[in-house]
C-alpha cells in the first residue's frame, strides 16, 4: 500500500448501506498518514451517525452547505467548523466519496451543487474519486452508465465497484470496494509518473553557522517547502535525495534524507550526489556568510559591543549550475520587495534554469503551511497561487517536469542535427 503522509483527504459519505464501512475507511486512510475530514449527506445520516465519524477522524463532521448559526456547529469544534464549501475545497489534497450512491453520481454528473458535498466537488481543484455502491440493477442501468461516462470525461476517478452479494439479497456488480482497497487507490492519486527514472537532488531548511558550541547564525526556514517537494518528486517517480539543514520535520518516506548543519556541509553533500542528478532543486535558505572563526568554548559576555567577522559561504546553486554537464537547476528566491526583479537577477547571475520566487511575510512563505510562487525562466513567467505547500509542491514538480523534458528534447534534437 502507498503512503498518504501529510495529505489532506476529504471523505464524502452519501446515503447507502455501505456507509457503515465509512468509519473503517477513515481509519485506513489515517493509518497510511492522511489527515481526514468528513462530509456527510442527509441520506448518509440514516445509516451512520456523525458522532461516529467525528470520533474516528478526530475532526468535526461537516453536513450543512449554508450554516451561519454558530450554535449548530459540532460541539467542541473551533474555527474549522465554520469553513464554507470553498474553504473545504481548498483544504483538500483529494476528495474521496465512498460510498457514492446512484443519486449522488447523477447529481455530480449534472453539475448540481445543492448540498455541501456536491458543492465541494465542484469547487475543488484537487483530484476527485468516487466509490460507487448500489444495487446491481441500478449499476447496470443506462442512465448510471451515462453519468459515469460524463464523470470520467470530467476527470473524476472511479474506484470499483466490486461484485458479490448485496444487502438487497441480489448478487452482481455494485458493491463498494473494501476500505483498505480504497485507501490504497487514493494513495495512487498522487503518483503522476512525470519524473519516472530520474534522479533528483533537493536541499531544504536553514543552515546553522556555529559561532561557538552553543550559538550560531541561522534563519527561520522550516523546511516545509523542500520536504513537500521531495515527497512530490518521489510520487512523480523520481529517485530523490534530500539534503536537509536542521529541521524538526520527519524524514519523507521513500526519500534518502541526508542531515547536515552548515552551508559547507550542505555544499559537500550536494556535490557528492549531484553528478548523477537529472534535476537539482535548491530550496534551502543557505546562509550567505559564516563566522570567520569558531570559538571552541562558549563566548562570555564582555563590553557593550561585540564585533563579528564573517566569511563568505560557498554558493551551492551557482556551483551546481556551473557543472559540465549541469542538471536542470532550480533555485528559490524569498524576497521582501521587488520579487520579480530580484528573481530575474538571480536567474541571470547564477545561470540557472528556473527560479521559484515568493514574497515572505503575511502568513506565506517562511514558517507557514501555505505559499505562493512566481516561476520565472528565460521563456516566460507563471504564477502558482497561494495554497498549502503540499499541493503547491505537486504543481511545481509538474511544471519542472514539463520544462525539463521540453529542454532535454530540444537538446537531443540539436545533437541529432549535428550528427
Is the pLDDT higher at 191 or at 284?
A: 284
pLDDT at 67 (0 to 100) = 62
pLDDT band at 77 (very low <50, low <70, confident <90, very high): very low
pLDDT band at 1 (very low <50, low <70, confident <90, very high): low
pLDDT at 74 (0 to 100) = 36
Model-wide pTM > 0.85: no
Give the closest residue to 310 by CA, choosing from 210, 386, 231: 210
Q: What is the mean pLDDT of the chain?
A: 89
365 has pLDDT over 60: no
pLDDT band at 103 (very low <50, low <70, confident <90, very high): very high
Give the closest residue to 247 by CA, choosing from 266, 233, 264: 266
Mean pLDDT, residues 200-207 taken together: 97
Mean pLDDT, residues 393-401 taken together: 96
Establish whether 168 is a catalytic residue: yes
40 has pLDDT over 90: yes
Tell me the domains of the chain and their CATH numbers.
8-188 (3.40.50.1950), 199-292+307-414 (3.40.50.10300)
343 has pLDDT over 70: yes
Mean pLDDT, residues 136-141 taken together: 92
Of 1, 51, 86, 168, the active-site residue reads: 168
pLDDT at 75 (0 to 100) = 37
Residue range 47-61, pLDDT digits in tens: 999 999 999 999 999
360 has pLDDT over 90: no
pLDDT at 355 (0 to 100) = 97
Cα separation, 237 vs 321, whole angstroms: 23
Cα separation, 303 vs 208, whole angstroms: 26
269 has pLDDT over 70: yes
Contact between residue 19 and residue 52 where contact means Cβ atoms under 8 Å apart:
no
Is the pLDDT higher at 409 or at 131?
A: 131
Residue range 206-251, pLDDT digits in tens: 999 999 999 999 999 999 999 999 999 999 999 999 999 999 999 9
Residue range 166-175, pLDDT digits in tens: 676 677 788 9
318 has pLDDT over 70: yes
Amino acid at each position: 500500500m502507498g503512503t498518504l503522509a501529510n495529505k489532506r483527504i476529504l471523505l464524502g459519505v452519501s446515503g447507502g448501506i455501505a456507509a457503515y464501512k465509512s468509519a473503517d475507511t477513515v481509519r485506513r486512510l489515517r493509518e497510511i498518514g492522511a489527515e481526514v475530514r468528513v462530509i456527510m449527506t442527509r441520506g448518509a445520516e440514516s445509516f451512520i451517525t456523525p458522532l461516529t465519524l467525528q470520533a474516528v477522524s478526530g475532526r468535526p463532521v461537516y453536513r450543512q452547505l449554508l450554516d451561519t448559526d454558530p450554535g449548530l456547529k459540532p460541539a467542541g469544534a473551533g474555527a474549522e467548523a465554520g469553513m464554507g464549501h470553498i474553504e473545504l475545497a481548498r483544504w483538500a489534497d483529494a476528495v474521496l466519496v465512498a460510498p457514492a450512491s446512484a443519486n449522488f453520481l447523477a447529481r455530480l454528473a449534472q453539475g448540481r451543487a445543492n448540498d455541501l458535498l456536491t458543492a465541494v466537488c465542484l469547487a475543488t481543484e484537487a483530484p476527485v474519486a468516487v466509490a460507487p455502491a448500489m444495487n446491481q440493477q441500478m449499476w447496470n442501468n443506462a442512465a448510471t452508465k451515462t453519468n459515469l461516462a460524463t464523470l470520467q470525461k470530467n476527470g473524476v476517478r472511479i474506484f470499483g465497484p466490486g461484485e458479490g452479494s448485496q444487502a438487497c439479497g441480489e448478487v452482481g456488480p455494485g458493491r463498494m470496494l473494501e476500505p483498505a482497497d480504497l485507501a490504497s487507490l487514493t494513495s495512487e492519486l498522487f503518483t503522476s509518473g512525470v519524473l519516472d527514472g530520474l534522479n533528483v537532488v533537493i536541499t531544504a531548511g536553514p543552515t546553522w553557522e556555529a559561532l561557538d558550541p552553543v550559538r550560531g547564525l541561522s534563519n527561520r526556514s522550516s523546511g516545509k517547502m523542500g520536504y513537500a517537494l521531495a515527497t512530490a518528486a518521489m510520487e512523480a517517480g523520481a529517485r530523490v535525495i534530500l539534503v536537509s539543514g536542521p529541521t524538526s520535520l520527519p524524514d519523507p518516506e521513500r526519500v534518502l534524507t541526508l542531515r547536515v548543519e552548515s552551508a559547507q556541509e550542505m555544499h559537500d553533500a550536494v556535490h557528492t550526489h549531484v553528478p548523477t542528478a537529472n534535476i537539482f532543486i535548491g530550496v534551502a535558505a543557505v546562509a550567505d556568510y559564516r563566522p570567520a572563526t569558531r570559538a571552541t568554548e562558549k563566548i562570555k559576555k564582555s563590553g557593550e559591543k561585540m564585533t563579528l567577522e564573517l566569511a563568505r559561504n560557498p554558493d551551492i546553486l551557482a556551483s551546481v549550475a556551473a557543472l559540465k554537464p549541469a542538471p536542470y537547476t532550480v533555485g528559490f528566491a524569498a524576497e521582501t520587495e521587488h520579487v520579480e526583479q530580484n528573481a530575474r537577477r538571480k536567474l541571470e547571475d547564477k545561470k540557472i534554469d528556473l527560479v521559484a520566487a515568493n514574497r515572505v511575510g503575511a502568513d506565506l512563505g517562511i514558517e507557514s503551511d501555505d505559499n505562493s510562487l512566481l516561476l520565472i525562466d528565460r521563456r516566460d513567467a507563471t504564477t502558482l497561487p497561494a495554497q498549502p505547500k503540499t499541493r503547491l509542491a505537486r504543481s511545481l514538480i509538474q511544471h519542472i517536469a514539463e520544462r525539463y523534458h521540453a529542454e532535454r528534447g530540444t537538446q537531443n534534437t540539436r545533437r541529432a542535427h549535428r550528427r
